Amino acid sequence: MSRTAPSQPPATFREGARAAIPLCVVIGAFGVSFGVLARANGFGVVAPIVMSMTTFTGASQFAVVSVLADGGGLGAAVLAAVLLASRYIPIGLSVAPVITGPAPARFVQAQMVIDESWAVANRGDGTIERGTLLGAGGALYVSWLAGTALGVVGGDFLGDPEDLGLDAAFPALFFVLLASQLKKRQNVAAALAGGAIALVLAPFAKAGVPIIAASAACVFGWWRR
Amino acid sequence: MSDVWAAVLLVGAAAMALKAAGPVVAGGRDLPPRALQLVSALAPALLAAFVVTGTFTSGRSVVLDERALGLGAAAVCAWLRAPLLAGVVAAAVVTAAARAV
């Protein structure tokens, strides 16, 4: 697994990208389904591709399409997407130490941070493997964009990703990475609290709120030390 | 401007800003020890929340469906210390098989 001993050399971008190839297949398939869904709901060809280029976080993008398609209006669509993306504030702070260079360069590198690249680059002690983060993020960016483009022009040749069980791939990835981090008691406490908060809030709160509330559980884990 | 383009531009700008906030403000410097402690607990808390919402929720409903079997397969793989990819593939295959039955 990705638990790198201090004596090993740091992962290069290429190694990070290679490690992400299986994930690229899954993300690419969801990119196709995003493109298909957006096109079918009147987004045209260019807007979905621009959205995947700039937003590059699937949950927010699917939320915009479904809220607008349901007639929820612009304000509700933007609010839903921003709530879902708000987790990138704590995630961004956790990767900040390895995002180096002048401010514009840091801005660009930060765009390669998504749940999956952050999760695989996490060493489990609060530190981040820079090569894995940026290499995996870059590879996932390319496959998300390519998948979106295929979806808007090519239609739904893939069928529903859920028929392939691909929606279960993401929680499985996060679970296996989580399991490798449960040697410390404070991590177990934070995981239990985070999972419980997300589950309890899910029926009552807008999508994204349970996730950002769960990140408050890290305060709980810290306080328990 | 259409709602579609307004949403694309607004959400794109917001997502880029949210992702960049931490790295632009605090990039390239080690976090203070207290912040590092907080951040080190962030990963398990957020990962657990992703697992729970990705497996046991559908919209605003808490559900128990085929994805739970997929997660079980991933848990077995983690317990056997199988590679990451094995857990991910096992979860997808088991979930798809359960849906096909």
Residue B85 above 70 pLDDT?
Answer: yes
pLDDT > 70 in chain B, percent: 100
Residue A4 above 50 pLDDT?
Answer: no
Residue B62 belongs to a domain: no
Higher pLDDT, A23 or B10: B10
Residue A156's pLDDT band (cuts 50, 70, 90): low
Classify burial at A9, counting beta carbons within 10 Å of its beta carbon; exposed 0-12, middle 13-18, buried 19 or more: exposed
B61 DSSP assignment: E
Note whether B53 contacts A202, CB cutoff 8 Å. Answer: yes
pLDDT at B94: 97
pLDDT at A222: 62
Distances (CA, A) of A44 to A28, A100, B8: 19, 37, 12
Q: CB of B1 within 8 Å of any CB in chain A?
A: no
Domain range for residue B15?
1-30
**Cα–chain center distance at A99:** 17
Other beta carbons within 10 angstroms of residue A51's beta carbon come to 28
Note whether A55 contacts B11, CB cutoff 8 Å. Answer: yes
pLDDT at A8: 57
Residue A128: strand, helix, or coil: strand
pLDDT at B28: 86
Residue B59 belongs to a domain: no
Residue B39 above 90 pLDDT?
Answer: no
Taking only the tens place, the pLDDT of each residue in B1-13 is: 799 999 999 999 9
Residues A120/A138, Cβ–Cβ less than 8 Å: no
pLDDT at A215: 87
Residue B62 above 90 pLDDT?
Answer: yes
Residue A90's pLDDT band (cuts 50, 70, 90): very high
The alpha carbon of residue A72 is apart from the nearest alpha carbon of chain B, in Å, by 11
Residue A17: partners with Cβ closer than 8 Å, 6 or more residues away: A135, A136, A138, A139
Size of interface A-B (CB pairs under 8 A): 341
In degrees rounded to 5, what are phi and psi of residue B30?
Answer: -65, 140
Token pair listed for B62: 């808490």
pLDDT average, residue stretch A208-225: 76
Q: Which of B63, B64, B88, B89 is the best residue to mutate to test the A interface, defined by the most A CB atoms within 10 Å of its own CB? A: B88
The rounded mean pLDDT for chain A is: 88
Token pair listed for B88: 């991910």
Note whether A90 contacts B29, CB cutoff 8 Å. Answer: no
- Chain B residues near residue A148 by CB distance under 8 angstroms: none
Pairing of strands B61-62, B57-58: antiparallel
Q: How far apart are CA B83 and CA B89, in angstroms?
A: 10
Residue A225 above 60 pLDDT?
Answer: no
pLDDT at A164: 86
Note whether B19 contacts A182, CB cutoff 8 Å. Answer: no
Task: Please compute, for residue A153, the number of CA atoms within 13 A of its CA located in the half-sphere on the CB side.
Answer: 7
pLDDT at A172: 93
pLDDT average, residue stretch B78-84: 89
Note whether A93 contacts B94, CB cutoff 8 Å. Answer: no
pLDDT at A125: 83
Domains contained in chain B, number:
1
Note whether A190 contacts B49, CB cutoff 8 Å. Answer: no
pLDDT at A135: 95
**Dihedral, CA of residue A6, residue A119, residue B42 and residue B27, to nearest 10:** 70
The domain limits of chain A are 13-167, 182-225
Taking only the tens place, the pLDDT of each residue in A24-81 is: 988 998 899 899 989 988 999 999 999 999 999 999 999 999 889 888 899 999 999 9
pLDDT average, residue stretch A89-94: 93
